[in-house]
Structure 1
Amino acid sequence: MAVPLLSAPTYAVESTAPEHLYALVDIGSNGIRFSVTSLHPLTSRVLPTLFTDRAGISLYDAQFQYSTAAPVRNPIPDATIAQITTALQRFSTVCASFKVPEDHIRVVATEATRTAPNSAEFRAAVTKAVGWEVELLSKEDEGRVGALGIASSFASVEGLVMDLGGGSTQLSWMISRQGHMKAAESAVSLPFGAAALMKKITTSINAAAVDSVGAGIQQDLSNAVKSLNLPAELEEIAKKRGGYTLYLSGGGFRGFGYLLLGAHDLKPYPIPIINGFSASREHFAHLADSVGTELTPEQQEGLASQFRISGRRASQVPAVAFLVRQLLKSLPAIREVVFCQGGVREGCLFQKLDVPTRGTNPLVAATGIYAPPGAAKIVRLIGDGLPKSTPEVFWLEIVPALANLLNFHSGVAREGRAAAGLHFTTTGLLGGTHGLTHQERALLGLCLCARWGGEVAEAAGGFRTRLEQVVGGELAWWARYVGAVAQAVGAVFPAGIVVDESAAATEHGEHDKRRLTRLSEVDSKLSFFARDQDRKSHLDIVLRVRVTKDDPDTSALMVHKTIEDIAKVGKKKMCEGLGYRRKIAVIWETD
């Protein structure tokens, strides 16, 4: 459902109405997460978060005492319970401020609470403090909910999935498309979370003992993969792609992902968001191989100074690197790894959505509230300007989102529009949107920049270059082309494609009623026909542009310029640095 741009403020108020709000507490092994999320029907697919916080309380560490002997598990200390109940009381105040209904508040707990010697007493203390029951997730439920969290993180998922907690690791497989998800009947839960594994490494007597731990993990992982019975469909996908995609969730893996992001060839890497960040097997393995099983104080301090790496995460990096080395030796051939923000919290919320809502493309759902009138026709019009060779990602995701945002930045000063569009998906309004890959963020930002002419100041120009390097020269070129076509459409239809005849008659008079009625027939004002042409073994694009003769909306100087600018995208000088180029011939026709 598209909502006109002027309706966005109304939606913003409705989205915070109490009936749409859900509060969740995730009591994990490494920390406790709190959130308030809006599940308003228009944007629930991207799980918009109104409040989020985390208490760095490790229930795993609180229960274990380690020496060179076997670890001893103790009850959760009273002091730790007091810290947790105080944090929950604070969150209770937050929920009251947002007016979250009591039946929309959920507290879930995983491994460390489930196996604590005084689990019942701990949960009773929570209920006494805030009146909320603590829901214990079984191993099977934890794996299932975690899988839903990963499914929520992308439009589609096809591969192996791992969720690394503090005390345990879940391994499964998943195929998720258009809201339908197929996964292993139950994820395999293995007792080597980041905190648990770090304790095993640090209490090992010598290197041989550490190697023995690694051999045991490899065996457990190999057995786990066999028990999952990977489906033939997934094996076929992996065969075509040259290996499996491994989706990684959980704080330990995300911390490792931020280290990979910091070590990226692009400096600074332009997208400061972990969800959707991907790395090749080679880069993943190289980082793991560069980290030893012990860190000097200086090394740990250096890690903790990096973006989004806390002191605690830094201390666990050797354990995560150790696990990565074992899993790359044990799992089927991994082609790339993709990092996910989604976990138990996101899975619990995603579970509430129906299949059609889950199947909505996250990028389209996030931008739909800004759609101008006639957005569907704008999609068709831009699509007519693209040849069949246009990469699929533009047809499925980028063009619909671009149509929704076609005029969003028109109120920005002219010199700032291209830059505002360029940053919109990373540090702008879509920066916090859940469910997007880095490729999607980069492509839409580049298209929005081109839609407003592509002229940016020097600093923004460097950012644009890095975004283009994220997606590669070929997709970057197509983003410029698609954005240029959108710019021409926006010049002809600056208020969208208006089809409300009665409103036109009332507000603008009979003359404007006739003019606005013509806009409902897109082809009578502006139409495109694009085709690929093989000319001397070089594939070019021929774009036919048909406009209405002597119509001021299409014959004005500024409109002509935007159409002529489409051809400039294929000029040799304009393609320098991309390593990809398509020549463009624009042919004008009039009725």
Structure 2
Amino acid sequence: MTHFAVIDLGSNSVRLSVWSVKADGQPVAETKAKEMVRLSEDMGDEMTLKEPAIARTIAALQKFKAIYSPLEDLTIKAYATAATRQAKNQKKFLKRVQDEVGLQIEVIPGVREAELDYVGVINTLNVQSGLIMDTGGASTELVLVQNRQLEHRISIPFGSVNLTEHFVHHDPITPGDLFRLWSSVTNVFNGIWWLREAQNLPIIALGGSNRTLAKVQRRKHHFRNFEDIHGFRMLSRNVNRVFAEIVDADVEARKAIPGLSRDRADIIVAGLVPVVTMLRFIDADKIIFSQNGLREGALYEYLQGTQRVAADENVVDETLTDFTVDD
């Protein structure tokens, strides 16, 4: 029996997924693990990873190594996204991981991250068209899907952690902070010309902040497995109700909201502004939630022996490298 593992080193959390692969090629999920490391915390204008965040990340990766190292016939992929991608001390950080964990990490561009999200979604959700939106700690990936084909994609350098650091200066957030945050996010969306093609399509939401909406809603309605949100649909009016409840609360009160992780209480408002803004921007009536994204995309590429699923010359790779804020 072979094994396949993926590590997704994000800006807020690091995650591990492990599958065994049967002789007929069918994957069986074996292990999932997550550690909140806040790798992008306090990167500042100098855009350097700080020692406390590096130490937390290496400790988490060492925990993961204890899980995957005993496995036989293992193929492992380790991807780093926005925080590492943006860091000026990226090479030094990667060398420390190599030296202390024995793990080689591939830093992928935002459009590659978006592509893997698309592969993970399209192989596990029955959706024809929609806007995939993956809000992480320091980047947000958007993918326009039409008739199950990837049409456009872009990576935007904002997420729950860096938006919080830029805009959320009070607890609870003030109307002025919220307005400046909302305006800056809207200005970025205004500059993405192809979003007009997403009008009235559902949003397919990935990322811990976005998934929080579904978990809070499911807890309100007493779902037995409230965290099992893959394929769960939520109307925009219910999204707005949950978001209003979160915005009205301070950090301590948010920690008590059922379905909202205490580890996200301080960054959840800024983390949700992009998806709530997008609902209005494209006039979507619902969100469809996906638990599968980058890691599952890597799995299906491995199983199918494919990569660069959107290599068609008509698909343009786009990445925003600058996000100017007025705070």
Q: How high is the TM-score relative to the length of structure 1?
A: 0.48
Q: Equivalent residues in 2 for 1:283-322 (5 A)?
A: 283-292=238-247, 295-303=249-257, 306-307=258-259, 309-322=260-273
Provide, for residues 299-350 of structure 1, a one-character-per-residue CA deviation record: whole Å limited to 9, x for no partner. Answer: 12312xx24x32122222322443344222212x212211100121111112
Task: Give the C-alpha shift of residue 256 in structure 1.
Answer: 1.9
SS at match of 2:285: strand
Provide the C-alpha distance between the structure 1 equivalents of 2:255 and 2:108, rounded to a whole number of angstroms. 35
SS at match of 2:287: strand
1:189 pairs with 2:143: no
Name the residue aligned to 1:451: none
Task: Give the C-alpha shift of residue 252 in structure 1.
Answer: 0.8
Is contact 1:172-1:228 (8 Å) kept?
A: no
Which amino acid letter does the alignment assign opposite residue 35 of structure 2? A
Aligned in 2, Cα 1:43/1:316: closer, same or farther, shift over 3 Å? farther
Is contact 1:289-1:325 (8 Å) kept?
A: no
SS at match of 1:345: helix
Which amino acid letter does the alignment assign opposite residue 322 of structure 1? V
Which amino acid letter does the alignment assign opposite residue 260 of structure 1? Q
Aligned in 2, Cα 1:209/1:83: closer, same or farther, shift over 3 Å? closer
SS at match of 1:63: coil
Task: Give the C-alpha shift of residue 58 in structure 1.
Answer: 0.8
1:351 pairs with 2:301: yes
Provide the C-alpha distance between the structure 2 equivalents of 1:200 and 1:77, rounded to a whole number of angstroms. 17
Which amino acid letter does the alignment assign opposite residue 310 of structure 1? S
Name the residue aligned to 1:249: 206
Larger strand percent: 2
SS at match of 1:38: strand
Provide the C-alpha distance between the structure 2 equivalents of 1:289 and 1:155, rounded to a whole number of angstroms. 30
Which amino acid letter does the alignment assign opposite residue 70 of structure 2? S
Which amino acid letter does the alignment assign opposite residue 197 of structure 1? L
Is contact 2:181-2:270 (8 Å) kept?
A: no
Task: Give the C-alpha shift of residue 146 in structure 1.
Answer: 1.5
Aligned in 2, Cα 1:48/1:315: closer, same or farther, shift over 3 Å? farther
Give unmatched runs, 5+ long, in structure 2.
307-327
Name the residue aligned to 1:93: 66
Q: Equivalent residues in 2 for 1:128-143 (5 A)?
A: 128-143=99-114
Task: Give the C-alpha shift of residue 79 in structure 1.
Answer: 3.9
Is contact 1:81-1:125 (8 Å) kept?
A: no
1:277 pairs with 2:232: yes
Task: Give the C-alpha shift of residue 92 in structure 1.
Answer: 2.5
SS at match of 1:60: coil
Greater C-alpha radius of gyration = 1
1:219 pairs with 2:187: yes
Which amino acid letter does the alignment assign opposite residue 350 of structure 1? Y
Task: Give the C-alpha shift of residue 201 in structure 1.
Answer: 2.9
Task: Give the C-alpha shift of residue 270 in structure 1.
Answer: 4.0
Name the residue aligned to 1:163: 134
Provide the C-alpha distance between the structure 1 equivalents of 2:251 and 2:108, rounded to a whole number of angstroms. 37
Task: Give the C-alpha shift of residue 157 in structure 1.
Answer: 4.0
Q: How high is the TM-score relative to the length of structure 2?
A: 0.83
Provide the C-alpha distance between the structure 2 equivalents of 1:40 and 1:197, rounded to a whole number of angstroms. 43
Aligned in 2, Cα 1:127/1:200: closer, same or farther, shift over 3 Å? same
Aligned in 2, Cα 1:74/1:140: closer, same or farther, shift over 3 Å? closer
Which amino acid letter does the alignment assign opposite residue 49 of structure 1? A
Name the residue aligned to 2:311: none
Provide the C-alpha distance between the structure 2 equivalents of 1:209 and 1:82, rounded to a whole number of angstroms. 32
Provide the C-alpha distance between the structure 2 equivalents of 1:60 and 1:354, rounded to a whole number of angstroms. 33
Query: How many residue pairs are counted as aligned between the two chains?
Result: 303
1:111 pairs with 2:82: yes
Provide, for residues 133-159 of structure 1, a one-character-per-residue CA deviation record: whole Å limited to 9, x for no partner. Answer: 210111111111121122233144421
Name the residue aligned to 1:40: 22
Task: Give the C-alpha shift of residue 41 in structure 1.
Answer: 5.4
Provide the C-alpha distance between the structure 1 equivalents of 2:33 and 2:110, rounded to a whole number of angstroms. 25
Q: Equivalent residues in 2 for 1:200-219 (5 A)?
A: 200-203=166-169, 207-219=175-187
Is contact 1:27-1:109 (8 Å) kept?
A: yes
Provide the C-alpha distance between the structure 1 equivalents of 2:264 and 2:140, rounded to a whole number of angstroms. 16
Is contact 1:218-1:329 (8 Å) kept?
A: no
Name the residue aligned to 1:477: none
Is contact 1:219-1:330 (8 Å) kept?
A: no
Larger helix percent: 1
Could you say which structure has the greater relative contact order, defined with CA pairs below 8 angstroms and 6 or more residues apart? 2
SS at match of 2:191: helix
Q: Equivalent residues in 2 for 1:380-399 (5 A)?
A: none
Aligned in 2, Cα 1:42/1:255: closer, same or farther, shift over 3 Å? farther
SS at match of 2:209: helix
Aligned in 2, Cα 1:250/1:321: closer, same or farther, shift over 3 Å? closer
Provide, for residues 150-179 of structure 1, a one-character-per-residue CA deviation record: whole Å limited to 9, x for no partner. Answer: 223314442111001001111121146xxx
SS at match of 1:26: strand
* Residue of structure 1 aligned with 2:32, choices 42, 47, 52: 52
Give unmatched runs, 5+ long, in structure 1.
1-16, 65-71, 236-242, 357-591
